[in-house]
Amino acid sequence: MTVELWVTQQEVAKHLQVAEDAMHRWISRKDMPATKVGRMWRFKLTEVDWQARYYSTPNRFTASS
């Protein structure tokens, strides 16, 4: 069984190619799955990737037909 490591906010920002300020906004709006460990936020990349896909996928169930 593989254990997924926790990564830092800086690593996630680099992974998603976004500014750390964007990360701060997403965390404060609870749009980013994060866990606070002490004073630092930690993330699981599988959860971050899922969240990024969920928010970037257009609504395919529109009543256009």
φ, ψ (nearest 5 deg) of residue 36: -90, 125
pLDDT digits (tens, 9 = 90+) for 7-22: 999 999 999 999 999 9
CB atoms within 10 A of CB 34: 21
| Of 34, 42, 38, nearest in space to 7 by CA | 42
**pLDDT of amino acid 61:** 46
Instruction: Give residues with Cβ within 8 angstroms of 35, minimum separation 6.
Output: 6, 41, 42, 43
What is the rounded distance in angstroms from the CA atom of residue 33 to the CA atom of residue 15?
A: 15
Note if the pTM is more than 0.85.
Answer: no
